[in-house]
Chain A
Amino acid sequence: MIMRRKSRYILVRSTRPLDIEVRDREYQFLKEVERFMGIGAYCASHPKIANKAGSNMFIVKVNRGSECSFALATSFIKRIADMDIGFQTVKTSGSISQLKRLAAKS
């Protein structure tokens, strides 16, 4: 029997429009997250872009318990490829729908 993996969804806001759906951008963002989290914490967290929620917001799925280290890692990311950019974690939730509603409201 395979045990269900428990996860959390984090709404992340970028300071400029970032086309996170483009595979290259997603890879660069996750590469920076890995750089600041460390390989061990990154593998334990297993972050993945779950959904795009606006021009400068997206939802990241992480394993439960690692949302704090993910938030800390994103605060250190200031550059992706050639772009100066900053990231802020807006809210953490157990479901995507609540975060989508929050993103639509803002």
Chain B
Amino acid sequence: MQYCDYIRDVNAADSKLAKLLGFQKMLTSLDGISIVASPQTIGTHENKVILEGNCAYIMKHVNDRRVVGIIIDDFEADKNLIEHARHKEKALIINAGKLTNSSDSYRARNIIRARELVKNALHYKIKISIASTARTANEVLSAGQLIEVAQMLGASQVQGKKMLTILGDLL
């Protein structure tokens, strides 16, 4: 199985490190996929784009053909967004870095919301993926750890392994 992760910090991505941590590749903005976070607009991006923001922001821009995935801030999604994502075949990406780096007071809240989001996504059969989206080298996670985080959020082991392969398919 070809596991991929997405890293925001271009310097932290390394093919040797990727292989050590169990990934085929660590994707960055240099690989043709970049994250566009709220309140920026997609503008004249030539690459494929992953939207990051709240539901209102994502609903506004999700119809763009360059959008291949969505990251929901604070893991709060409504039913309209989930059905829209399923209809447009956009991948829902769980931000594992935000879960593991949260401060004590927000961690439990984020995990509970992420569990609800994963449950709904699996029920409605949306393409769902998980990535560390590390901003620094300290936030990088291995493939095994990402699968464990996916299982913590309610996916089975088979589903967790499949979630790691989705990012590679987006390219």
Contacts and interface: CB of A to CB of B under 8 A. Distances in A.
Contacts of A88: 21, 140-142, 145
Contacts of A24: none
Interface range for A:
10 to 19
A74 interface: yes
Contact of A90 (B96, B137, B142): B142
B138 A84 contact: yes
- State the main secondary structure of chain A at its contact with B: mixed
A61 interface: no
Given A75-B100, A88-B21, A106-B16, A15 B144 contact: no
B122 interface: no
Given A13-B20, A106-B20, A75 B148 contact: yes
Interface of A: 13, 15, 68-69, 71-72, 74-76, 78, 84-86, 88-90, 92, 106
Given A68-B151, A72-B148, A76-B100, 15 more contacts: A13-B20, A15-B137, A71-B142, A71-B148, A72-B149, A75-B100, A75-B141, A78-B100, A78-B101, A78-B139, A88-B140, A89-B142, A89-B145, A92-B144, A106-B16
